[in-house]
């Protein structure tokens, strides 16, 4: 749209607007990550921010937006003389989720290479965003190779391009703003930590507020220019306030008392590293400048914590976001210094911020008592054995990465290798059919030996159809991770179900972050059931797992056969999505006639279909039968113990499920 929706016309969303304005006052805060459901004005507010930023002084003709007061000595368009220059509006550059690596960092100028035969660099979006805003909508869906490039640029403040005979370094300091819907998957921790602030947004449940949102949107759609004109005075007032706050910022005093509160707060919420302390200090200083003060108060520290810590604190997966505000207030009160006033009496800082963390509550269904152990062989022998109450899952942990061998062509994700349109360039090949992604360097190399025979004149390069080379790109795909969980009495007898549930919950979290589909098959007693058909809702799988009861014999064959049927149906529905079978069991098989032989035949069905599989061995105790390892052999997969499942475990080798990669 040529006329953006005015920033000051956004209804509600106080925290979102405040976080964006603080970054406008002090870009050193480090950007904003906006998390929330769809239709909550996330993108609207971000796109409107650029109109409030002061104009930028640039060197005329510099494609890399050098500051004339201090030009970059290594600028590819330089060297530039100090002084002079012109001004232009601050840019907001949008990075599409499906952008190529060339579009982000830049590449060889194809037109000049073909027409003039020279190597010239064509800048990418990182150069365009320098000294402005880089906006990524649906940042959690960004391809991993682009995330890596963003991390490098954000860490170094520069972009380094070494490719296709081009070697370029240019400054790339930008305000990173991302929006995402958490239902579509989480963000990689490395990129998450690069965002200075985070804000959770949700649609208002107040009818009057919703009415006003609709009223303003309809008015804007009917006459964008007229609607913007009605808000021009408010926009000008906010713009002037941003300029005044920027001028005041160098004079704001951050006292030792405020610094102690910042350090104590970060320590109390167990954040990793020191970036949180630094971001909180910068945010509190920007808050004071925005309020027109030269001293940082405790209320500034409180608000800074609500904006800078929720995405950095250690918390259990699938927990609600936000901070425990009572704990925050107690920490600020305990470490209030003489040079800083304490928190406000009502305990509320400006703007609200995070949401209170939910109480833990009692363990689901089982209280604190452990079920009684069954008989000596670990199996209840009577057909009417008492079913044991569900036990709560142990604390989840970061697991090792399991992947499907080979190269697939499934939906974009973060687990297994795949041929993609937007992945990292891995080589070149002759095009099969229409050319979609030109590999320039390979094309030039193919054409170069024939230039004399083709009568090349001047500096141009004669390229024919046979010279064209298709870029071969590789990225990551999501998979269908099907969990087959043993819930029989032998698992509960050794009081291991809590640890087993914790392990499966950890694998579910990994699947959530890698955008996999998941399914859950359980077996116990006399049969197996599909506890959760394949779905993208990992939360639903976690809820089913928590309420999973245990007890009875171990019909391993029934569980495997049910899983095989689930995969057969899913293969018909989505043939491009490759499965990964995760069997969680101690390997016992006692249910039904000839249980061991039947389980072996069922396992070999997966081996025949070349389904990637891993067995999580839950056997414990001084005497181990090694049945889970035998099952993994029948499946044609790998086995890993509960201890080896942890990413930080040093026991055993990394089980990466690549047994049949050749």
Q: Is 627 within 8 Å of 621 (Cβ atoms)?
A: no
Q: What is the pLDDT of residues 345-392, one digit of tens each?
A: 444 443 443 333 333 333 333 333 333 334 334 444 443 445 566 777
Same fold, 7-66+87-202 and 249-334: no
pLDDT at 263 over 50: yes
The arithmetic mean of pLDDT across residues 513-540, rounded, is: 85
Query: Confidence class of residue 27 from pLDDT cuts 50, 70 and 90?
Result: confident
In angstroms, rounded to a whole number, what is the distance separating the alpha carbons of residues 328 and 359?
A: 16
Distant-in-sequence, close-in-space partners of 571: CB < 8 Å, separation ≥ 6: 579
The domain made up of 7-66+87-202 is a member of CATH 3.30.428.10: no
Tokens matching residue 526? 């006399």
Q: Is 65 left (phi over 0), alpha (psi -120 to 50) or beta?
A: left
Which tens digit of pLDDT belongs to each residue from 613-652? 999 998 876 767 889 999 999 999 999 998 888 876 433 3
* Residue 139 pLDDT exceeds 80: yes
Note the pLDDT of residue 320: 56
Q: What are phi and psi of 581, to 5 degrees?
A: -95, 125
Cis-peptide into 260, omega within 30 deg: no
Whole-number pLDDT of residue 319:
56
The whole-number average pLDDT for the span 403-409 is: 87
Domain ranges of the chain: 7-66+87-202, 249-334, 420-476, 480-641
Cβ pair 421, 437 in contact under 8 A: yes
Least confident of 18-27, 37-46, 236-245: 37-46
Q: Position of tokens 């389904």?
A: 611
Q: Are 489 and 550 in contact (CB under 8 A)?
A: yes
Using an 8 Å Cβ cutoff, are 285 and 252 in contact? Answer: yes
Residue 340 has pLDDT above 60, yes or no: no
**CB-based contact 377:405 (threshold 8 Å):** no
Q: For domain 249-334, is the CATH number 3.30.530.20?
A: no
Say how far apart CA 165 and CA 441 lie, in whole Å: 8
**The pLDDT of residue 380:** 42
CATH class for the domain made up of 480-641: alpha beta
Per-residue pLDDT, 354? 39
* CA distances, 599 to each of 196, 389, 418, 555 (Å): 53, 27, 32, 8
pLDDT of residue 471: 82
**Do 208 and 47 contact (CB within 8 A), yes or no?**
no
pLDDT tens profile 274-313: 889 999 999 999 999 999 999 999 999 999 999 998 888 7
Q: What is the pLDDT of residue 599?
A: 92
> How far from 46 is each of 25, 126, 127, 153, CA to CA, in Å?
15, 18, 20, 21
d(CA 317, CA 323): 15
Q: Which two tokens stand for residue 35?
A: 């998390």
Q: What is the Cα–Cα distance from 538 to 600, expressed in whole angstroms? A: 30
**DSSP per-residue letters across 423-448:** EEEEEEE--SSS--SB-HHHHHHHHG
Q: Is 116 left (phi over 0), alpha (psi -120 to 50) or beta?
A: alpha
Tell me the per-residue pLDDT of 55-66, one tens digit each, with 9 for 90 and over.
889 999 899 999
What does the pLDDT average to over 538-557?
A: 81
Quick: pLDDT tens for 484-510.
999 887 766 545 778 888 888 888 888
Identify whether 275 is a catalytic site residue: yes
Average pLDDT over residues 153-161: 84
CA atoms of 506 and 513, how far apart (whole Å): 11
pTM of the model: 0.62
Give phi and psi for 176, each to the nearest 5: -90, 120
376 contacts: CB under 8 Å, gap ≥ 6: none
> What does the chain come to in residues?
662
The residue-averaged pLDDT of 164-177 equals 83
Terminal Cα distance for the chain, rounded? 52
pLDDT in tens, 92-136: 899 988 787 888 888 777 666 655 666 678 888 999 999 888 998
362: CB partners within 8 A, 6+ apart: 368
SS3 state of residue 175: strand
Average pLDDT over all residues of the chain: 80
Structure tokens at 78: 């330089």
How crowded is residue 547: how many other Cβ atoms within 10 Å of its Cβ? Answer: 10
> What's the pLDDT score for residue 259?
93
State residue 117's pLDDT score: 60
Is pLDDT above 50 for 154?
yes
Both tokens of 657, joined, read 């499920």
The catalytic residue among 91, 210, 275, 398 is 275
**Residue whose pair of structure tokens reads 């008392």 in the numeric block:** 257
pLDDT of the residue at 277: 93
Dihedral of CA 38/182/365/387: which sign? positive
Question: What does the alpha-carbon distance between residue 48 and residue 33 come to, in Å, rounded to a whole number?
Answer: 16
Half-sphere exposure (Cβ direction) of 176: Cα atoms closer than 13 Å:
23
Under DSSP, the state recorded for 550 is: B
CA dist., res. 306 & res. 288, Å (int): 15
Q: What is the pLDDT of residue 475?
A: 80
Instruction: Return the structure tokens found at 596.
Output: 């061991």
DSSP code, position 371:
P
Per-residue pLDDT band for 558 (boundaries 50, 70, 90) equals: very high
**Structure-model confidence comparison of residues 248 and 658, the more confident one:** 248
Q: Which phi-psi region, left, alpha or beta, contains residue 430 (left: φ > 0; alpha: ψ -120 to 50)? A: beta
Output DSSP code: residue 537: -
At 555 the three-state DSSP class reads coil
Tokens of 326: 């009572």
Mean of pLDDT values over 433-458: 76
């Amino acid at each position: 749209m040529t006329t953006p929706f005015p920033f000051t016309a956004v209804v509600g969303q106080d925290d979102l607007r405040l976080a964006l304005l603080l970054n406008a006052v002090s870009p050193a805060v480090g950007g904003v990550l906006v998390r929330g459901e769809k239709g909550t004005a996330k993108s609207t507010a971000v796109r409107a921010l650029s109109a409030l930023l002061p104009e930028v002084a640039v060197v005329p003709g510099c494609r890399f937006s050098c500051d004339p007061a201090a030009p970059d000595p290594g600028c590819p368009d330089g060297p530039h003389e100090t002084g002079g220059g012109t001004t232009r509006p601050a840019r907001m550059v949008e990075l599409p989720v499906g952008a190529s690596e060339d579009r982000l960092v830049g590449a060889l100028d194809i037109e000049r290479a073909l027409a003039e035969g020279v190597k010239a660099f064509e800048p990418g979006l990182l150069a365009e965003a320098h000294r402005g805003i880089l906006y990524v909508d649906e940042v959690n869906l960004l391809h991993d190779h682009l995330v890596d490039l963003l991390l490098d640029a954000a860490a170094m403040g520069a972009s380094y391009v070494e490719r296709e005979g081009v070697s370029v370094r240019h400054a790339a300091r930008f305000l990173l703003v991302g929006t995402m819907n958490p239902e579509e998957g989480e963000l990689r921790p490395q990129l998450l930590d690069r965002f200075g602030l985070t804000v959770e947004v949700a649609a208002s449940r107040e009818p009057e507020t919703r009415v006003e949102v609709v009223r303003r949107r309809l008015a804007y759609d009917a006459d964008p220019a007229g609607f913007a004109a009605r808000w021009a005075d408010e926009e000008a007032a906010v713009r002037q306030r941003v300029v005044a706050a920027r001028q005041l910022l160098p004079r704001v005093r951050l006292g030792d008392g405020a610094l102690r509160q910042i350090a104590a707060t970060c320590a109390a919420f167990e954040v990793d590293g020191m970036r949180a302390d630094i971001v909180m200090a910068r945010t509190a200083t920007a808050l004071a400048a925005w309020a027109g003060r030269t001293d940082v108060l405790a209320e500034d520290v409180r608000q800074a914590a609500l904006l800078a810590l929720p995405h950095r604190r250690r918390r259990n997966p699938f927990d609600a976001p936000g901070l425990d505000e009572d704990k925050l207030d107690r920490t600020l009160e305990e470490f209030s210094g003489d040079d800083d006033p304490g928190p406000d009496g009502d305990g509320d800082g400006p703007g609200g911020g995070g949401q209170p963390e939910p109480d833990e509550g009692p363990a689901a269904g089982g209280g604190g008592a452990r079920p009684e152990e069954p008989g000596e062989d670990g199996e209840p022998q009577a057909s009417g054995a008492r079913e044991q109450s569900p036990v709560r899952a142990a604390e989840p942990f970061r697991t090792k990465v399991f992947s499907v061998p080979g190269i697939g062509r499934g939906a974009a994700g973060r687990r297994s290798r795949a041929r993609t349109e937007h992945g990292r360039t891995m080589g070149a090949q002759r095009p099969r059919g229409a050319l979609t992604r030109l590999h320039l360097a390979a094309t030039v190399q193919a054409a170069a030996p024939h230039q004399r025979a083709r009568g090349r004149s001047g500096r141009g390069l004669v390229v024919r159809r046979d010279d064209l080379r298709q870029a071969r790109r590789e990225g990551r795909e999501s998979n269908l991770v099907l969990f087959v969980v043993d819930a029989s009495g032998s698992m509960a007898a050794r009081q291991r179900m809590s640890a087993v549930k914790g392990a499966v919950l950890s694998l579910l979290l990994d699947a959530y972050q890698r955008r996999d589909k998941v399914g859950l098959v359980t077996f116990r007693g006399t049969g197996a059931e599909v506890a959760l058909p394949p779905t993208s809702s990992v939360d639903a799988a976690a809820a089913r797992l928590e309420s999973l009861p245990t007890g009875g014999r171990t019909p391993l064959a029934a569980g495997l056969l049910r899983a095989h049927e689930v995969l057969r149906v899913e293969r018909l529905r989505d043939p491009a999505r490759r499965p990964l079978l995760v069997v969680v069991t101690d390997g016992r098989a006692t249910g039904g006639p000839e249980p061991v032989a039947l389980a072996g035949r069922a396992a070999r069905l997966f081996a025949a279909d070349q389904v990637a599989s891993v067995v999580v061995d839950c056997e414990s105790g001084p005497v181990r039968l090694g049945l889970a390892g035998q099952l993994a052999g029948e499946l044609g997969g790998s086995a890993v113990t509960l201890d080896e499942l942890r990413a930080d475990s040093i026991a055993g080798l990394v089980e990466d499920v690549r047994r049949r990669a050749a």
